[in-house]
Structure 1
Amino acid sequence: MKKIALSVTALMTTLTLWAQKDSATNALDEVVVTATKSPKKLSETGKVLTVISHEQLERSAGKDIAQVLNEQTGIVVNGATSNPGKDKSIYMRGAKSDYTLILIDGIPLYDPSGLSSNFDIRTIPIENIERVEILKGSQSTLYGADAIAGVINIITKRKGNKEVGAFATASYGSFNTFKGNAGVNGSTKTLDYNVAYTYYDTKGISEAKDPNGTGTFDKDGYKQHGVLANLGFKVNDHWKITPFLRYNTYNGKLDAGAYTDDRDYTYKSKSLQTGVRSELTFGKSRFTLNYSYNTIKRDYLNDSGYVPPYSDQYYSGGYKGTDQFAEIVYSTELAKGLQLVSGVDYRTSNTSQSNTYIGSWGQDVSKISKDSAMQHQFNAYASLLYTGKVFHAEAGARYNNNSIYGTKWTYNFNPFVFLNKEVKIFANISSAFKTPTLYQLYAPMYGNSSLKAESAVTYEGGVQYFQPEQKFNIRGVIYKRDVNNVIAFTNRYVNQDEQHNWGVEIEPTINFTENLQLVLQYAHTKGKLNTQLNGKDSSSSTLLRVPEDTYSMALNYRASKKLFLSMNIQTFGARKDLDFSTYPSTLVNLEAYTLWSAYGEYKFNKHVKVFADFKNITNTDYVEVLGYSTQPASVQAGLTVTF
């Protein structure tokens, strides 16, 4: 019965996805920048790239970026439907959460103070995002460290369509959640700008799940302030300078762990990213200079007012990280149909950390100093792109030199054919690496300065069909990824594991009419982990928190020029998670679940619209992360004004 239910859900999901006319698989002539680090039409790249368009994001005003990413094929974001303030972990194609690189406006961002260095996507309000480009497969040749599973390029809003404009969005919903965004934007012949302020406040739900349903677990709220400023100065017809600044601060409450409430465990975070992008063009050649400065500070406090069983009586932790990135990219047309993209970049990062624990066993203090916990990387890369009438190809390589582990090389080769502007057949072989984090290298007792970089090779093949009248298109992909020198934790961090994944992704889209579209998605993911235990090889076919099968269906319907409606159904198959209430921890099964959501908006005129976003309409009781709560049926409704 479960298989039948899943199949029915998959069919329904396919019908829904047909209804999303602005789906990435539709836009054959859409220009993207992430696939090759230069503007290219989707028809001119054989890489597996998905675009979340501006229009789709406009229809996601009741969501956050984690929930939007969680709707994409082959991506599971743990925490997306848990307590709103809970941390979000991105699993792309079954890979570990630290194998996906986050870019903002093409610049890679990291959290040097984190255990896995993942950038916190909670700091990026969806209202400030213009579009998102998701590039799957190992992508270190163009983007360097951490792009083992792929990259997610979040492109922020940069300008308005008149000299002076203003905008505002306000919404209120379940869990006493208020979201507000307001700002000004505009453009002239020499200047464009977008400045916005975002406020987010929710009382939330209990982060830990109450196993006995006592109703005594308190709510763990979350509050966020954010500022975005993008400027663009056109010096002349050939030179443009675009400085940027993003500042974000948030605070919230935590629980002590799975199934364990805590009433006075709090955290706060501040982050700042600033820098500049400069573009200089000469005929068919372009120089791009990127520089970014990124600093993050996080503090945790759990005082002794309330002490859950088996927990510390007191804990205080402070984490600070700084990362600087500089890059020069040069692209030019060497001959007709032959383009070169090359560049050099330099990255330096450091962290300082301090933790104090007090328990029944006594007191412990651990520190990491930024004077020792630092690393530097230098990279040089080049990629050749050939565009013919039928046959196309891209090939490239990157040289990486790291102050900790030395030299690393990566490569990619992507041939594809495009037949009659209808059928694209493509193949990819690419490699990638992930640097050890500063915590893994320098943590007291657990750190290991001899760690090597994790390395991966991904193989992809697929076909994409575009019906000439855009009524139907479909993409099917099969992939395999092998990762070596996987870092694991024993009594310290060591390179000891190998991870092997393979999977299938199928994405059909049907446009029944100009106003009715159905988009379907199916992803199947398998994984295997080989490890060394007591000198013997051991293997496990378990992907933690990642379902083998996911299905979704989105149906979008424009009932009139003013009214738009959509429905989405997602099914997440059975998964496994670790239960740490036992020692050693044990694997437990998590049941499959299906979530229904719906969205509607009504435009009174070109300046004013109202919207409502409904999640988990059937009030399904499900588990996303073992021991943590998930959101029941909820709604967020609001108003958007532009002038």
Structure 2
Amino acid sequence: MQGCAHVLKPLLLLSTILAASPAVAQTGPVSDADIVVTASGVAQPADQVGQAITVITRDAIERRQIVSVADLLATTPGVTVTRNGGIGSFTGVRLRGAEAEQTLTIIDGVRVNDPSSPGGGFDFGNLLAGSIDRIEILRGPNSVPWGSQAIGGVVNIVTLRPTEGLQARGNVEYGRYDSLYANAGISGAKGGLSGALTGGYLKSDGISTAAAGTERDGYRQYGATGRLGYDIAPGIGIDLRGYYADSRTDLDGFPAPAYTFADTPEYSTAQELYGYAGVHATIGGVQNVVAFTIADINRDNYDPTFGTAPSFIGRGRSERYSYQGDWQAVRQLRLVAGAERENTRFNDGTTFADTGITSFYGEAIVTPIEALTITGGIRNDDHDAFGNHTSVGANAALALGTGTTLRASYGEGFKAPTLYQLYGPYGTRTLDPETARNYDAGVEQSLLGGRARASATYFHRDTRNQIDFDLGTFTYANIARTRAEGVELAIALKPVDALTFSANYSYIDSRNRVAGANFDNDLARRPHQTVSATVNYVFPFGLSVGSTITHVGDSFDNAANTVRLDGYVLASIRAEMPIGERLSVYGRVENLFDETYQVVRGYGTYGSTAYGGVRVKLD
């Protein structure tokens, strides 16, 4: 671990925030009343789950006035975010120091990691918050219910869901860089029919992607989500869900004659389409779900200097057929089992490849006594290219009558080689899957009748067979090994109804474990320490005010640890005032003190920015 001085700096910052701020952050421990699905793939009360999960609700998204989901995730425990420039630029989310490509992302039941990208990751740069109702972040490997890519953890996103009656919401805001953001949604349910629809638009002149550049690189997105449900009979129904986004991002490149990172007229486009169609039926006490999902992603890069044809294309598509059964055998025993078949393909203009994977898994959720829940499971994946792989996992939660909950888990994760790594121009068809083993243990304490909650978690993860580019053979190979361990602390307070406060501190020591020149070096762009605190206060006359402060520690931009990225502190303030029962006006200032910083060497970041808007709700 680092020296005491490096640990004390963020802890002192956190203590200062706690002492001085009349406020709250929404990223504290999960309430026992929460229902989560990322632990086992089925809905469970949070106090029956032994894994570390953070839940973010729609109320928190609106209170924080969030536009980009990545900006919200960056203030949660165990999460680090890097963005290559302004909004819309490639954005990676790392959980507990794992690679961004090792984060499994799910939107409305669809696994949306991109089969056409070299590492098979999901780009959070185009994911906006306007349509989202709820986010669950599970930290740590969890391949038993979720399969490939869940090495770092799982980010599960749920868009607008219908409730009884008819509701509508919308907001529009404007701010620096000629930024315009608008979003609207309508939902409702009556009898056995329910539905929801959202639409959104964002346009911004942006900042220069190259930190040394002067030309602004803009961004534009329009998108929509929808869902429809119909109950055919008691316990039997169909569910349809869809997500679409069309984005354009201006880029910078390496123009002649200097070939250094600078302003260029390059840009990229992306069209994302995700769909879910499922049937659920309860038969003989077993809740059955049969579903088909599709993720279709088209990416194109253009350089007008060389003409109108794309300089790069990426076409990724995955189709998944799945069955899941959920049976409460007796009060003390719940059994979950499933089968899946996923087919993926990609095309980069020169290479076309496809593959598939067939999976079976089973889980037992046992409650031997009322306070103790033990979950264990096993999964087998049979990949068309690398063959069979088996993963296991187990966790336990002990909820004591004193408001104390003890948690412990062991989880395994694996990540199948991507189509590019297998069949691309530098591919190797004999690659093995990346694998990880993780264990963690934690304690959560509820005080003051639930108005105060605090938690502490220790974790350790070893990852083997990581796939990296081998400079000796100029091909992809299983040559990387990493280790990560650390501590996550969180607190949430609501001393009175008008005041909320939450804060978290993460220490993550993630290191290269491959023998050689970089052995035991820090992994690139993985700060050891982060601190975040959020406060909110509502005055009796309705005005809501709040602030968020985040400290990110030093890190390195390269594997050799020769290029340092200095740590930084970002602060924001915000306010919202209702006008009548359905309308409110709001505004915020981000990077309040105009901090100069970089999260990726050579790429630009935002200075101080201000935004104002109007929000409406009808029900």
TM-score bracket, normalised by the shorter chain, equals over 0.9
Paired residue for 1:338?
333
Structure 1 position 571, deviation (Å): 0.5
Distance in 1, Cα, partners of 2:31 & 2:285: 25
Kindly indicate whether the alpha-carbon contact (under 8 Å) linking 1:160 and 1:186 is maintained by their aligned counterparts in 2.
yes
Q: More displaced, 628-637 or 120-129?
A: 120-129
Kindly indicate whether the alpha-carbon contact (under 8 Å) linking 2:522 and 2:561 is maintained by their aligned counterparts in 1.
no
Structure 1 position 383, deviation (Å): 0.6
Distance in 2, Cα, partners of 1:21 & 1:637: 21
Q: Which secondary structure does the structure 2 equivalent of 1:341 belong to?
A: strand
Paired residue for 1:432?
413
Structure 1 position 33, deviation (Å): 2.0
Distance in 2, Cα, partners of 1:33 & 1:453: 25
TM-score normalised per structure 2: 0.93
Q: Which secondary structure does the structure 1 equivalent of 2:71 belong to?
A: helix
How do residues 291-440 of structure 1 correspond to structure 2 at under 5 angstroms? 291-304=292-305, 316-354=311-349, 367-369=350-352, 373-387=353-367, 388-420=369-401, 422-440=403-421
1:32 to 23, 30, 36: 36
Paired residue for 1:267?
268
Kindly indicate whether the alpha-carbon contact (under 8 Å) linking 1:233 and 1:240 is maintained by their aligned counterparts in 2.
yes
Paired residue for 2:111?
108
Paired residue for 2:75?
71
Structure 1 position 41, deviation (Å): 1.3
Distance in 2, Cα, partners of 1:390 & 1:328: 31
Give the aligned length.
606
Structure 1 position 335, deviation (Å): 1.6
1:615 to 577, 590, 599: 590
Distance in 1, Cα, partners of 2:338 & 2:610: 47
Structure 1 position 18, deviation (Å): 8.7
Paired residue for 1:497?
480
Paired residue for 2:142?
139
Please tell me the residue identity of whatever aligns with 2:192.
Answer: T
Distance in 1, Cα, partners of 2:67 & 2:573: 12
Distance 1:15 1:300, change over 3 A: farther
Q: Which secondary structure does the structure 2 equivalent of 1:8 belong to?
A: helix
Structure 1 position 23, deviation (Å): 4.9
Paired residue for 1:597?
572
Q: Which secondary structure does the structure 1 equivalent of 2:170 belong to?
A: strand
Paired residue for 1:359?
none
Kindly indicate whether the alpha-carbon contact (under 8 Å) linking 1:378 and 1:400 is maintained by their aligned counterparts in 2.
yes
Distance in 2, Cα, partners of 1:635 & 1:90: 25
Q: More displaced, 153-162 or 544-553?
A: 153-162
Distance in 1, Cα, partners of 2:331 & 2:495: 39
Kindly indicate whether the alpha-carbon contact (under 8 Å) linking 2:78 and 2:139 is maintained by their aligned counterparts in 1.
no
1:44 equivalent in alignment to 2:40: no
Kindly indicate whether the alpha-carbon contact (under 8 Å) linking 1:9 and 1:570 is maintained by their aligned counterparts in 2.
no
Kindly indicate whether the alpha-carbon contact (under 8 Å) linking 1:21 and 1:511 is maintained by their aligned counterparts in 2.
no
Paired residue for 1:576?
556
1:456 to 428, 433, 436: 436
Paired residue for 1:280?
281
Paired residue for 1:83?
86
Q: Which secondary structure does the structure 1 equivalent of 2:130 belong to?
A: helix
1:573-615, CA deviations, whole angstroms, 9 ceiling, x for partnerless residues? 1100029xxxxx8731111111101221112233111111221
TM-score normalised per structure 1: 0.90
Kindly indicate whether the alpha-carbon contact (under 8 Å) linking 1:208 and 1:259 is maintained by their aligned counterparts in 2.
no
Paired residue for 1:640?
615
Distance 1:295 1:54, change over 3 A: same
Kindly indicate whether the alpha-carbon contact (under 8 Å) linking 1:167 and 1:182 is maintained by their aligned counterparts in 2.
yes
Q: More displaced, 38-47 or 394-403?
A: 38-47
Structure 1 position 554, deviation (Å): 1.3
Q: Which secondary structure does the structure 1 equivalent of 2:420 belong to?
A: helix
1:155 equivalent in alignment to 2:177: no
Distance in 2, Cα, partners of 1:18 & 1:411: 45
Distance in 2, Cα, partners of 1:326 & 1:60: 37
Paired residue for 1:202?
204
Distance 1:238 1:268, change over 3 A: same
Distance in 2, Cα, partners of 1:84 & 1:123: 8
Structure 1 position 314, deviation (Å): 10
Paired residue for 1:174?
176
Distance 1:442 1:220, change over 3 A: same
Q: More displaced, 589-598 or 277-286?
A: 277-286
Distance in 2, Cα, partners of 1:338 & 1:16: 48
Structure 1 position 46, deviation (Å): 1.5
Kindly indicate whether the alpha-carbon contact (under 8 Å) linking 1:557 and 1:565 is maintained by their aligned counterparts in 2.
yes
2:229 to 219, 232, 238: 232
Q: Which secondary structure does the structure 1 equivalent of 2:47 belong to?
A: helix
Paired residue for 2:527?
547
Please tell me the residue identity of whatever aligns with 1:406.
Answer: G
Mark the runs of 5 or more structure 1 residues left unpaired by the alignment: 211-215, 307-312, 355-366, 580-584
Q: Which secondary structure does the structure 2 equivalent of 1:57 belong to?
A: helix
Paired residue for 1:626?
601
1:509-544, CA deviations, whole angstroms, 9 ceiling, x for partnerless residues? 2222222222121100112212255xxx86132121
Structure 1 position 263, deviation (Å): 2.5
Kindly indicate whether the alpha-carbon contact (under 8 Å) linking 1:273 and 1:292 is maintained by their aligned counterparts in 2.
yes
Distance 1:106 1:539, change over 3 A: same
1:120 equivalent in alignment to 2:101: no
Please tell me the residue identity of whatever aligns with 2:342.
Answer: R
Structure 1 position 85, deviation (Å): 2.0
Paired residue for 1:213?
none
Please tell me the residue identity of whatever aligns with 2:272.
Answer: S
Structure 1 position 642, deviation (Å): 2.4
Kindly indicate whether the alpha-carbon contact (under 8 Å) linking 2:29 and 2:54 is maintained by their aligned counterparts in 1.
yes
Please tell me the residue identity of whatever aligns with 1:36.
Answer: S
Distance 1:605 1:35, change over 3 A: farther
Please tell me the residue identity of whatever aligns with 1:440.
Answer: Q
Distance in 2, Cα, partners of 1:417 & 1:233: 38
Distance 1:52 1:561, change over 3 A: farther
1:186 equivalent in alignment to 2:188: yes
Distance in 2, Cα, partners of 1:78 & 1:21: 21
Kindly indicate whether the alpha-carbon contact (under 8 Å) linking 1:17 and 1:553 is maintained by their aligned counterparts in 2.
no
Distance in 1, Cα, partners of 2:27 & 2:206: 31
1:523 equivalent in alignment to 2:523: no
1:9 equivalent in alignment to 2:13: yes
Paired residue for 1:244?
241
Distance in 2, Cα, partners of 1:623 & 1:186: 44
Kindly indicate whether the alpha-carbon contact (under 8 Å) linking 2:116 and 2:348 is maintained by their aligned counterparts in 1.
yes
1:352-394, CA deviations, whole angstroms, 9 ceiling, x for partnerless residues? 112xxxxxxxxxxxx112xxx1110011001101122232211
1:221 equivalent in alignment to 2:218: yes
Structure 1 position 546, deviation (Å): 1.3
Q: Which secondary structure does the structure 1 equivalent of 2:151 belong to?
A: coil
Please tell me the residue identity of whatever aligns with 1:286.
Answer: Q
Distance 1:619 1:106, change over 3 A: same
What is the alpha-carbon root mean square deviation over aligned residues? 2.3
1:558 equivalent in alignment to 2:545: no
Q: Which secondary structure does the structure 2 equivalent of 1:6 belong to?
A: helix
Q: Which secondary structure does the structure 1 equivalent of 2:216 belong to?
A: coil
Structure 1 position 161, deviation (Å): 4.2
